[in-house]
Chains A and B, each alone.
Chain A
């Protein structure tokens, strides 16, 4: 009662008097204190005098400082160089045989210029870059049409990934030029009318000498790189970028359940699984060079290098070719273990993958969602801390899954397991694989 503050003032006084005299009771009182407990302490009165002095002086000073800062912020943009409007560039691929191709290829060399496709609704425009990095609102519907012509292998043909980067703030002309290379600008009326979405053909029109990352990387040298658009989002983080896109085959059909892996220069990876309509999304990526790997069961793996600029949203459209057997080498996120999966080609299997998860739904942990996999109404999401969350009602309510595995979950997917059939599958950083049909009951494979 005394220790918990439940005693009245009189009782407390009486107890203090006893405690002052009784060593045994003092021992008891101190012994019963939990060690880790730190009781909330009221503000020490000793500091009252500080506040008495600070309040009449400090508050006006703070208010004046706020006003000055506001004025600086207000004035400063006016004296700054005019904002560079967002760059929307499209690289057309004149030689691609895809009917109704929405994109144009980026010429292989810088000397070529890409004629603007003139369809502002392609790619980014449709995605209507929302101001925020939260890409739930960006539905990249403009899938890439890939033909399913049998091709040889792997990374040889990364068809038309479209990189559309969106930045919230003016992009320096040099950056735009670098990105553009042979990219032409396209107006994107679907973008938020924040005054920064006006494209500037002339700014993007290039600089044949532009040797930006895009021009230098494998994307730029590929002749079959399709439409490339650069888009600047609104209120994205100044330093982080995002990747969004859709995996399709050569014919343009969406590939569900494919895996997108981004690996940075340090070897760190971020991975996600595409939804039933092939869309995927990775947010809060530090700017820099990445190697993008797209894999799907029954398809050849594709790899390419991309560069993400701060506050850009890259819209990608990896196209995969059907392969007789595909071998995916994936580096587990945030670990150095490498798991190699060999899958036999089974196009039909692809169609039985998870249903749509067209947007990333936040999970209760507040951490960025690495991957979300859905099946029927059940959603299984993995955040970047390795926490697994299950929703039985399409993301309305979430339940955290208590991990039965040792280590951290780094990958989730809906797949077919020989022993159990179609099920959710979790792979840990130790390489352990657990499956569950309902997302609740897990069994180690």
Chain B
């Protein structure tokens, strides 16, 4: 499938006219920016613009400077929201960006042909491979990738303006990683549309309890679980959710967290041990004897009418179409 011809249909005049338009925009932008206080010094902006090779993808200095300032401001230069970055921190933030990829992404978002040419040359095959990998099917993968190209090209308009998800690329991670995230989000959405997901309430088995618990004890267990899980750290809850709810392997989790699989295993074990101890303490604190508390913990979760998924997760998560791909 020749995605370049099928999907990359210029919506703006190409060639010189496009360049003229972009230059005009650049001038306009530059004027506008000049009236505001600029965080990006001109010399640094010039240097970063050249390092990014933005000229090759028809992104003007002003456009690139604006993109850099927008990203910096949006992420507060990687600092805590309560802090304000000084000049040095801003410079370090900008220098740490993937400038060349940012220029390509920005050029594509602005509809520059040279940027698109470069983007397709560098990323088309990788994207298609990633899509095929995610979908497990060559046909589905190519379809997913093609759909993404159209979206990335900016055939969508918002408030009368051309909009592309590439505008959301911050340059802090690699462009390919960002594209994979977008692709994964689209895939998840696609999957949800194709197959209705089972409601969470239906997941928990409503099987018969072999030894019916007293209602009071069940409530104690439920409360203890809720309290204990809410006290768990984000990492612990992520580990528990990924492993027990999502059924991911330790290897997969280690890749996401960028640690050794043994580390994941150890952390998971510590999390479960800590949870158990905390649960015991909580149950005992609620008046159960130690023996009763241990009995309660020894119950098969399938025999207990407790929705662990709901307890472990606070939200179901919305559709990912507007996510910026920060993951």
Which residues of A are in contact with B by a Cβ distance under 8 Å?
Answer: 1-8, 10-11, 13, 15-17, 19-35, 37-39, 41-46
Contact = CB atoms under 8 A, between A and B. Distances in A.
25 contacts: A1-B172, A1-B173, A2-B326, A4-B174, A6-B173, A16-B235, A17-B237, A19-B238, A20-B241, A22-B316, A23-B313, A23-B317, A24-B317, A25-B327, A26-B238, A28-B327, A30-B248, A31-B134, A33-B255, A34-B180, A39-B255, A41-B263, A44-B260, A45-B263, A46-B263
A108 to B, nearest CB: 69
A16 B263 contact: no
A245 B161 CA distance: 78
Contact of B313 (A6, A20, A39): A20
Nearest to A47: B262
B278 interface: no
A25 B263 CA distance: 23
A2 B170 CA distance: 12
Nearest to A4: B173
B187 interface: yes
A35 B133 contact: yes
A44 B258 contact: no
A30 B252 CA distance: 7
B184 A28 contact: yes
A45 B265 CA distance: 12
A32 B248 CA distance: 14
Given A13-B234, A23-B317, A41-B261, A32 B255 contact: no
A22 to B, nearest CB: 4
A24 B316 contact: yes
B73 to A, nearest CB: 15
B313 A21 contact: yes
A16 to B, nearest CB: 4
Interface in B209-242: 234-238, 241-242
A3 B327 contact: yes
Contact of A46 (B174, B262, B318): B262
Interface in B160-209: 170, 172-174, 177-178, 180-181, 183-185, 187-188
A7 B172 contact: yes
A22 B317 contact: yes
A21 B319 contact: no
Contacts of A45: 263
B34 interface: no
A22 B260 contact: no
B121 interface: no
A193 to B, nearest CB: 54
Interface string B70-107: 00000000111000000000000000000000000000
B114 interface: no
Contacts of A29: 181, 184, 256, 327
B14 interface: no
Contact of B260 (A21, A26, A31, A42): A42
B3 interface: no
Given A21-B237, A28-B320, A33-B256, 6 more contacts: A3-B177, A4-B173, A10-B80, A20-B236, A27-B246, A32-B130
Q: Ordered nearest first, which 5 A-B pairs have the shortest CB separation?
A: A20-B237, A24-B317, A22-B317, A17-B234, A32-B184
Given A30-B248, A30-B252, A42 B259 contact: yes
Chain B interface size, under 10 / 10 to 19 / 20 to 34 / 35 or more: 35 or more
Contact of A32 (B183, B242, B259, B266): B183
B134 A26 contact: no
B171 to A, nearest CB: 9
B231 to A, nearest CB: 13
Interface in B124-177: 130, 133-134, 170, 172-174, 177
B291 interface: no
B81 to A, nearest CB: 9
B71 to A, nearest CB: 11
B307 interface: no
Contact of B314 (A10, A21, A32): A21
Interface in B300-320: 309, 312-320
Contacts of B9: none
A31 B183 CA distance: 9
A3 B312 CA distance: 22
Contacts of B246: 23, 26-27, 30
B7 interface: no
Contacts of A23: 241, 245-246, 309, 313, 316-317
A38 B260 CA distance: 10
B270 to A, nearest CB: 11
A43 B315 CA distance: 34
Interface in B239-292: 241-242, 245-246, 248, 252, 254-256, 258-263, 266
A13 B237 CA distance: 12
Contact of A28 (B188, B237, B314): B188
A45 to B, nearest CB: 7
A28 B321 CA distance: 12
Contacts of A30: 242, 246, 248, 252, 256
Contacts of A5: 258
Nearest to B249: A30
A333 B234 CA distance: 62
A25 B260 contact: no
A21 B317 contact: yes
Given A16-B234, A25-B317, A32-B180, A1 B170 contact: yes
Nearest to A14: B234
A38 B241 CA distance: 22
Contacts of B258: 3, 5, 39, 41
B135 to A, nearest CB: 10
Contacts of A33: 252, 255-256
Nearest to B229: A20
Given A21-B317, A30-B248, A41-B258, A3 B181 contact: yes
A28 B185 contact: yes
A31 B78 contact: no
A20 B173 contact: no
Contacts of A43: 260
B175 to A, nearest CB: 11
Contacts of A37: 255
A17 B317 CA distance: 12
B76 to A, nearest CB: 10
B227 to A, nearest CB: 16
Nearest to B237: A20
A218 B38 CA distance: 91
Contacts of B260: 41-44
Nearest to A27: B188
Contacts of A20: 234-238, 241, 312-313
Contact of B172 (A6, A16, A27, A28): A6
Contacts of B130: 32, 34
A119 B173 CA distance: 73
Nearest to B182: A32
B254 A41 contact: yes
